[in-house]
A and B are shown apart, each in its own frame.
Chain A
Amino acid sequence: MRSICLLLAGLAFLAPPCPADTVHRTHEFTLDNGLELIVQEDHRAPVAVVQVWYRVGSAYEHDGLTGVSHALEHMMFKDTKSLATGEFSRIVASRGGRENAFTSTDYTAYFQQWAADNVEESFRLEAERMHNLVISDEEFAKEINVVLEERRLRTDDNPQALASEATQAVAFQTGPYRQPIIGWEADIEQMTAADIRQWYQRWYGPNNATLVVVGDVDPAAVHALAIKHFGPLPAREIVPPKARPEVPQHGTKRVTYASDKARNPYLVMGFKVPVLPAAVRDEAVEEWEIYALDVLAETLDGDASARLSRNLVRGRELASHIDAGFSATAMLPTLFYFNAVPRDGVALADLEQAILGEIDALKQAPPSAEELERIKTQVVADTVFERDSMMHQAIIIGSLESVGLDWRLRDEYVDKIRAVTPAQVQAVAAKYFVPDGLTVSYLVPEAKS
């Protein structure tokens, strides 16, 4: 399906080349310079969301330069060759738009939401900052201080965030997921405008981006507008970062994070698990394993009837709150995490043992037919519910494409989940939930000395 689509994309002025599914009406195009464009029609309201996704994030960064992708995201709202600082945002706001951006380990994305007749303005503005960004020393000096304030707000004054950051840094020894997305404080403090200019030159180009439009639009017209505004931009040579595979782990890793600001103890457990992009890259991982892990996550924490709530929040009343899960579409093998706050008087060690007990139960016996039925019903329902948000639809498409997956995976998702057997859930529990994949962190409240 995909190869046919790409072949047709060059002459797609006439008709949408790839009517991939009738529910979503999604269409894919590729410009000559390598820019991917995916358009999904949604005619419920006269609005559209436009997102530009760049395949760069904190997992592309190296020591000493952590946080540079995120800092660049901030600078993308400053000057370009033809737009003064703040003009981009003033134009968007004056037309009733909302805009923002987000950076993750695997990608950086920018978006505008506004009336659908503003799609061309989005393209004009995004094409300008894709190619003509100007990073002045003066604007950088102010903005890097904003980034530091953001880090203080989200992480440094938040004990649970600090404990999670430490967990990630210990769980991954050589792999880039050990680095925080926002960057280490010292790296942010020492960052220069030149660092950001180089990062922009290295990663921002049409052939390293995906343009996603969801809304009340005509795909052929959107394609024509994309050619008009992004077509003239030259492709950049993109040199992928050197691979930094995670070294094998031997034995459980443990972190104690003592904080005089924490009032509640907090438990973080993370097991290393594979992800869909790894299965696609054929790294000795079967695709079904990822879907089985997803069903396992739902078995433990899909809703209030799932095992962690039923057995540990109610039942034994050990936890005030637990959540569990993993990002199946992370670019690199990731952590299947458990975050839990104990009830008063419950030791973190006892809560840890209870969670391990729930995992053992899944190793010993597969989930029941009733549990699987509940999960499959919820997955079907959730895919219907998700259609209510254009923003969400665009994020699914953009994030899949940005980690090297095909957006059509979304449409196969329900069938793949439906195909998971109880024995497969048991099998992945046994294979991945092992001491050699585990990192355990205790956030311990401590009296101020």
Chain B
Amino acid sequence: MSRVLAIMLVAAFACGLAGNATAMPEIEHWTTANGARVYFVAAPEIPMIDARVVFAAGSARDDGQPGLAELTNDLLREGAGERDADAFSSALGATGARLSNGSLRDMAYVGVRTLAEPRYADPALVLLADAIARPRFDAAAVDRIKGRALVALRHREQSPESIAEDTFYREIYGDHPYASPPDGTADSVTALGRDDVVAFHRRYYVARNAVIAIVGDLDRARAAAIAEQLSVGLAAGERAAALPAPAATSAHELRVEYPSIQSHVRVGLPGMRRGDPDYFPLLVGNHALGGNALVSILFREIRNKRGLSYSASSYFVPMAAEGPFVALLQTDRSQEPEALAVLRETLGGFIADGPPAADLEAAKQNLIGGFPLRIDSNDKIVEYIAMIGFYDLPLDYLEQFTRQVAAVTAEDVRDAFARRVPLDGLVTVIVGRAEADEG
């Protein structure tokens, strides 16, 4: 029953945060003996521990071998230390712990959620430490995960949304590492070998390139012991090099023909980075434009007034280098011209004039009033402190937030959007049928 219900859980989406009088999680920070940065919050209410290790080892490090970062990350749970994949999964299952892993453009992570009781937590943490420091990369596992990756790639090819996403990144990033698809391509994945994976792991899964985030029912001493345990097997190594800034884009439109009923439309460009000087004006402005779920300007114009799309939104993805800004919708092919016109007109008006006062006020109220929701579970706190560590944000980032949001003016937003989201830089990607009356 519990597992079945879990399927229905509505995923909470978080991409920024605000702050007010809410009690802030008290973040403790130190560095392990070999240079891993540790962030810890004690949360004694539930007898469990979340530990997550994040590396600058995402697809931005693929360096001409698209798919390598993801393949490496996926293989971490396919056998480590003395245990092959079967033995590893059996040992993990016996602890009741849940292991999670993932690889994005900037970061790759592995984490565990375990009961705090040492008889469960101790073996679970041994397995996590083995996974990051002593993965086996058995040849059979490499072949199997490569095979799975090729199937997953074809799955993306039957999803117009995935095609639109991959195409959009390619179009706005050109030669920049963010253009490289995290899942790779059929050719690039086929060409990957065990040696590539071993070399990638050796270079990027190292202590100085790691952030360890720990939240749960434990004190600092135990957290420190766990952090040492998780990092001791890692070579000290070096932090990954800083990523270059993406080049400016020039406005153009690309249509990818695909036999879907709907056209998937994305408009955007490289947006902002973590710690960006324009972070707050862009965040608040976008919240008014397309981020404030059911009440944003785009939602109102495209969905509520005209019924043109189920989703109509915009967002920034702040990353180590300038992550994308994107406004998107999907609509029946016959309505595509109208929907695109409304999207462009709305965007253009917003960029030229800045946010209407009422929308700006609503956006700020929502960001500030909604702050407590962003840190109301261990799951969210571990994600935030990992983010703060990974992007070198100040420890009082959360405390500053409300103040920074509150200070944003309409002119700040207009000015920031005019400079950072210029109309003559907006790239449009449309995935759908060439003609409305076909098929």
- A93→B295 contact, CB < 8 A: yes
Contacting residues, chain A, for B12 (C-beta < 8 A): 98, 391
Report the nearest A residue to B303, measured CB to CB: A146
In chain A, positions 121-162 with a C-beta closer than 8 Å to chain B are 141-146, 148-150, 152-153, 156-159
- A96→B259 contact, CB < 8 A: no
Task: Say how far A130's CB is from chain B's closest CB, in angstroms.
Answer: 19
Other-chain residue from B96, B155, B310, B365 in contact with A263 (beta carbon distance below 8 A): B155
A303 contacts B by Cβ under 8 Å: yes
Name which of A83-91, A197-205, A421-429 contacts chain B.
A83-91
Other-chain residue from B93, B115, B147, B375 in contact with A343 (beta carbon distance below 8 A): B147
Q: A94-B366, A114-B369 are in contact. Are A304 and B309 (CB under 8 A)?
A: no
- B92→A303 contact, CB < 8 A: yes
Contacting residues, chain B, for A149 (C-beta < 8 A): 262, 307-310, 330-332
What separation, in Å, do the CA atoms of A379 and B152 have in the docked complex? Answer: 30
What separation, in Å, do the CA atoms of A58 and B12 have in the docked complex? Answer: 25
Contacting residues, chain A, for B372 (C-beta < 8 A): 45-47, 96, 115
- A374→B261 contact, CB < 8 A: no
Other-chain residue from A93, A263, A309, A390 in contact with B294 (beta carbon distance below 8 A): A93
Report the nearest A residue to B329, measured CB to CB: A149
In chain B, positions 79-103 with a C-beta closer than 8 Å to chain A are 85-86, 89-90, 92-98
B3 contacts A by Cβ under 8 Å: yes
A362 contacts B by Cβ under 8 Å: no
In chain A, positions 278-324 with a C-beta closer than 8 Å to chain B are 294, 297-298, 302-306, 309-310, 313-314, 317, 320-321
Q: A102-B8, A448-B259 are in contact. Are A328 and B332 (CB under 8 A)?
A: no
What separation, in Å, do the CA atoms of A93 and B291 have in the docked complex? Answer: 11
Indicate with 1 or 0, residue by residue over A46-57, a CB within 8 angstroms of chain B CB atoms. Answer: 110000000000
What separation, in Å, do the CA atoms of A158 and B160 have in the docked complex? Answer: 9
What separation, in Å, do the CA atoms of A385 and B4 have in the docked complex? Answer: 15
Name which of B128-136, B229-237, B265-273, B376-384 contacts chain A.
B376-384
- A303→B261 contact, CB < 8 A: no
Q: A96-B371, A263-B154 are in contact. Are A385 and B5 (CB under 8 A)?
A: no
- B261→A157 contact, CB < 8 A: yes
- B332→A320 contact, CB < 8 A: no
Task: Say how far B119's CB is from chain A's closest CB, in angstroms.
Answer: 10
B157 contacts A by Cβ under 8 Å: yes
Task: Say how far A100's CB is from chain B's closest CB, in angstroms.
Answer: 7
- B362→A157 contact, CB < 8 A: no
Contacting residues, chain B, for A158 (C-beta < 8 A): 159
What separation, in Å, do the CA atoms of A100 and B293 have in the docked complex? Answer: 9
Indicate with 1 or 0, residue by residue over A69-95, a CB within 8 angstroms of chain B CB atoms. Answer: 000000001000000011001100111
What separation, in Å, do the CA atoms of A87 and B120 have in the docked complex? Answer: 50
Name which of B42-50, B240-248, B277-285, B314-322 contacts chain A.
B42-50
Other-chain residue from B6, B262, B379 in contact with A153 (beta carbon distance below 8 A): B262
Say which size band chain B's interface belongs to.
Answer: 35 or more
What separation, in Å, do the CA atoms of A343 and B159 have in the docked complex? Answer: 19
Q: A46-B22, A86-B295 are in contact. Are A156 and B261 (CB under 8 A)?
A: yes
Other-chain residue from B4, B93, B304 in contact with A374 (beta carbon distance below 8 A): B93
B9 contacts A by Cβ under 8 Å: yes
- B379→A388 contact, CB < 8 A: yes
- A343→B86 contact, CB < 8 A: no
Task: Say how far B203's CB is from chain A's closest CB, in angstroms.
Answer: 27
Contacting residues, chain B, for A99 (C-beta < 8 A): 293-294
Report the nearest B residue to A342, measured CB to CB: B151
- B261→A152 contact, CB < 8 A: yes
- A45→B331 contact, CB < 8 A: no
Other-chain residue from A45, A260, A302, A313 in contact with B22 (beta carbon distance below 8 A): A45
What separation, in Å, do the CA atoms of A44 and B379 have in the docked complex? Answer: 13
Other-chain residue from A45, A89, A94, A261 in contact with B376 (beta carbon distance below 8 A): A45
Report the nearest A residue to B13, measured CB to CB: A98
B52 contacts A by Cβ under 8 Å: no
Contacting residues, chain B, for A439 (C-beta < 8 A): none
Indicate with 1 or 0, residue by residue over A381-410, a CB within 8 angstroms of chain B CB atoms. Answer: 111111111111001100100000000011
- B362→A96 contact, CB < 8 A: no
Task: Say how far B300's CB is from chain A's closest CB, in angstroms.
Answer: 7
Contacting residues, chain A, for B209 (C-beta < 8 A): none
In chain B, positions 185-217 with a C-beta closer than 8 Å to chain A are none
Contacting residues, chain B, for A396 (C-beta < 8 A): 1-2, 5
B77 contacts A by Cβ under 8 Å: yes
- B150→A344 contact, CB < 8 A: yes
- A388→B92 contact, CB < 8 A: no
Report the nearest B residue to A379, measured CB to CB: B2
What separation, in Å, do the CA atoms of A279 and B1 have in the docked complex? Answer: 14
Task: Say how far A207's CB is from chain B's closest CB, in angstroms.
Answer: 25
A333 contacts B by Cβ under 8 Å: no
Other-chain residue from B77, B294, B331, B365 in contact with A95 (beta carbon distance below 8 A): B365
A13 contacts B by Cβ under 8 Å: no
- B6→A392 contact, CB < 8 A: yes
Task: Say how far B293's CB is from chain A's closest CB, in angstroms.
Answer: 7
- A320→B369 contact, CB < 8 A: no
- A261→B259 contact, CB < 8 A: yes
What separation, in Å, do the CA atoms of A384 and B216 have in the docked complex? Answer: 12
A341 contacts B by Cβ under 8 Å: yes
- B89→A93 contact, CB < 8 A: no
In chain A, positions 202-240 with a C-beta closer than 8 Å to chain B are none
What separation, in Å, do the CA atoms of A298 and B306 have in the docked complex? Answer: 46
Other-chain residue from A86, A100, A157, A302 in contact with B260 (beta carbon distance below 8 A): A157
A326 contacts B by Cβ under 8 Å: yes
Contacting residues, chain A, for B331 (C-beta < 8 A): 149
A378 contacts B by Cβ under 8 Å: yes
Other-chain residue from B4, B93, B150, B309 in contact with A329 (beta carbon distance below 8 A): B4
Q: A45-B372, A115-B369 are in contact. Are A304 and B294 (CB under 8 A)?
A: no
Contacting residues, chain B, for A343 (C-beta < 8 A): 147-148, 151
Contacting residues, chain B, for A115 (C-beta < 8 A): 369, 372
- A260→B259 contact, CB < 8 A: yes
What separation, in Å, do the CA atoms of A95 and B18 have in the docked complex? Answer: 13
Other-chain residue from B1, B47, B114, B332 in contact with A152 (beta carbon distance below 8 A): B332
Other-chain residue from B158, B294, B307, B370 in contact with A262 (beta carbon distance below 8 A): B158
- B1→A413 contact, CB < 8 A: yes
A325 contacts B by Cβ under 8 Å: yes
- A384→B295 contact, CB < 8 A: no
A173 contacts B by Cβ under 8 Å: no
A189 contacts B by Cβ under 8 Å: no
- B151→A321 contact, CB < 8 A: yes
Contacting residues, chain B, for A380 (C-beta < 8 A): 96
Contacting residues, chain A, for B105 (C-beta < 8 A): none
A192 contacts B by Cβ under 8 Å: no
- A413→B154 contact, CB < 8 A: no
Contacting residues, chain A, for B23 (C-beta < 8 A): 46
Q: A305-B93, A377-B96 are in contact. Are A44 and B5 (CB under 8 A)?
A: no
Indicate with 1 or 0, residue by residue over A256-269, a CB within 8 angstroms of chain B CB atoms. Answer: 00001111100000
A residues touching B (Cβ–Cβ < 8 Å)?
44-47, 77, 85-86, 89-90, 93-100, 102, 104, 113-115, 141-146, 148-150, 152-153, 156-159, 260-264, 276, 294, 297-298, 302-306, 309-310, 313-314, 317, 320-321, 325-329, 341, 343-344, 373-374, 377-392, 395-396, 399, 409-410, 413, 448
Q: Give 7 pairs: A residue, B residue, CB < 8 Å, sorted on A.
A: A44-B43, A46-B22, A145-B308, A261-B158, A304-B93, A305-B93, A381-B115
Extra contacts, 4 of them, besides A388-B379, A389-B9 (Cβ < 8 A), are A98-B373, A144-B307, A305-B90, A385-B113
Closest 8 CB pairs of A and B: A96-B369, A381-B96, A96-B370, A142-B307, A145-B307, A45-B376, A305-B89, A304-B89
